[in-house]
Structure 1
């Protein structure tokens, strides 16, 4: 709830759906992408036949690289997607099956987060009377938002993370998500083999609501943008011999270029204890999210909020002893996380 209450804008309600909604299948991500594709003004009623084409297309594309898209053992709809990928059925047949079986649960469940419906609806269910859904003004306002391009990338990154969790069966084998600074990507290891998962920027951005971790200046995750975010180590990487796993997700934040590289930037100084508390709260967003960053954070920092807070404080104390100087920039926006 605090995720919305701290900054109750439309994009953060949408992020709540993508980041905190329960995942038993990847259909939520496919539906979000389909809505991104069908955002044309003046076409607020979308029939299931119209929705089926982009919805199935995104699932088929992901199935080619990630065969596990659901936690149950089988799905007649996903089997049809696989048959389409193998050339066994036509696109028309796939769309007909999608209309019949693809939307059975996802439309009902889309707006539910933590066992309750969020306060803002982005579409209305009109399957009974109009055989489709109707986009609301909330959705159209969302598409006009400066954060919209970020939301598309965040959805894709979240989908990739969930796929990897299912592929590695995190219930028995917790994922250790790691960061590669050279290509700005998150990766995991399976059977001593490195598996690149997704963009680090896009994975972190939703939890920071599209703003710099330190000063709340708006940032972008789109390459070529002037305000492209930097991935920063909260506790500086130079301390990697004194503090373990500084490349862990718990220590990675998105920073604007001013805070990370500007004349008054952080560099080798230690973020203040106020910023340390902000890091703890940001990490708790990870914990309250479903797989797999939740499992990664628990594995890296502790099983309870108290243990995780203690881990951060001890790491901060070590950094402070080594580097001495604290740092906190002037806020460029309201506190939103």
Structure 2
């Protein structure tokens, strides 16, 4: 399989895919990209196109201060004057104006230029343009960022950025090697959590964490889905291989991230829904591709899936085929459904 990032960007290039590649892929050394992404979406909702760095500093620093309050380590570096300013403001030791001044002078030094870089190069579209002419520093939002708001369930983009941020900062906060950090799933709360030294820490919503890697689509029929809790079409977290098999497969973790997909209510539990059936074999390749998308990202879902399914792509594909054979031996029947939209992954 080609590099997961390139497949995600190029196989079905769309505006949403380019945005998600910014959020979901890449080696994060600080959380600034997530704060900027949430700020861009927030500002776009106001209809403004030209934003000075001082105006941008308000939502940008606010998002960072909220995260600093619960997870002080927001970068891999030992120190950051900007992050320290966020902490100092939270502690009441500096004024709001001082914090904003520090954000303008230090907070955007790298992220403005690096935002559109995925892997080693920039994506071919831009969600804003940098304009630092005549000493007046601002960014100008492009039409692309406003088009994101016109897509089905645009609120997903903010929740996906927040979820990815939570995953990254958890690895930093715990100080655990990503090779040792194992993310688990709680079916009742539908949360991912980590349990270092038997001390559970809830990390993020499973729906928000997985949605971007499915490009906002139902895993089975490709209908649009939402991760919002207050929608009639809120997606379900589905066990690809039904959880009822766990009693027959005690050696396989069916609650593993590798086996969790997002499905629309119709596919999961509708009149002709999947319920406890084994998906048709064509979905097995789709599951493999989705998992490889996840592995192409970093911290900590990547390492969790590798731990659960194999170190190489060949091993992971063989693992899925093995589980599929055991599943059909027990449950006999397979399930499939017509696709409601063009395949997107």
Pick from 153, 160, 163 the counterpart of residue 154 of structure 1: 160
Are 1:60 and 2:65 matched, yes or no?
Answer: yes
Are 1:127 and 2:132 matched, yes or no?
Answer: yes
Report what 2:50 is aligned to: 45
Report what 2:182 is aligned to: 176
Report what 2:91 is aligned to: 86
Pick from 138, 142, 162 the counterpart of residue 144 of structure 2: 138
Pick from 293, 297, 300 the counterpart of residue 289 of structure 1: 297
For 2:153 and 2:268, locate their aligned partners in 1 and report how far apart those are by CA, in whole Å. Answer: 21
SS in structure 1 of the partner of residue 112 of structure 2: helix
Report what 2:338 is aligned to: 330
Report what 2:191 is aligned to: 185
Are 1:272 and 2:280 matched, yes or no?
Answer: yes
TM-score, normalising length: structure 1? 0.97
SS in structure 2 of the partner of residue 38 of structure 1: helix
For 2:144 and 2:115, locate their aligned partners in 1 and report how far apart those are by CA, in whole Å. Answer: 15
1:242 Cα deviation after fit: 3.2
Q: 1:295 to 1:128 in 2, by over 3 A?
A: farther
SS in structure 2 of the partner of residue 240 of structure 1: helix
Gaps of 5+ in 2: 1-5
Pick from 51, 60, 73 the counterpart of residue 78 of structure 2: 73
Report what 1:254 is aligned to: 262
For 2:149 and 2:267, locate their aligned partners in 1 and report how far apart those are by CA, in whole Å. Answer: 29
1:127 Cα deviation after fit: 2.4
Report what 2:3 is aligned to: none
Gaps of 5+ in 1: none
1:236-270 CA deviation, whole Å, 9 max, x = no partner? Answer: 00111333111010000000111110121111211
1:186 Cα deviation after fit: 0.8
Report what 2:232 is aligned to: 226
For 2:138 and 2:286, locate their aligned partners in 1 and report how far apart those are by CA, in whole Å. Answer: 42
TM-score, normalising length: structure 2? 0.95
* Higher mean C-alpha displacement, 39-48 vs 69-78: 39-48
The CA RMSD over aligned residues, in Å, is 1.3
* Higher mean C-alpha displacement, 32-41 vs 155-164: 32-41
The number of residue pairs the alignment matches comes to 337
Q: 1:11 to 1:147 in 2, by over 3 A?
A: farther
Q: 1:173 to 1:304 in 2, by over 3 A?
A: closer
Runs of 4+ in 1 over 6 A off after TM superposition: none
Q: 1:82 to 1:53 in 2, by over 3 A?
A: same
1:224 Cα deviation after fit: 1.9
SS in structure 1 of the partner of residue 223 of structure 2: coil
For 1:232 and 1:34, locate their aligned partners in 2 and report how far apart those are by CA, in whole Å. Answer: 31
Answer whether contact 1:242 1:318 (CA < 8 A) is retained.
no
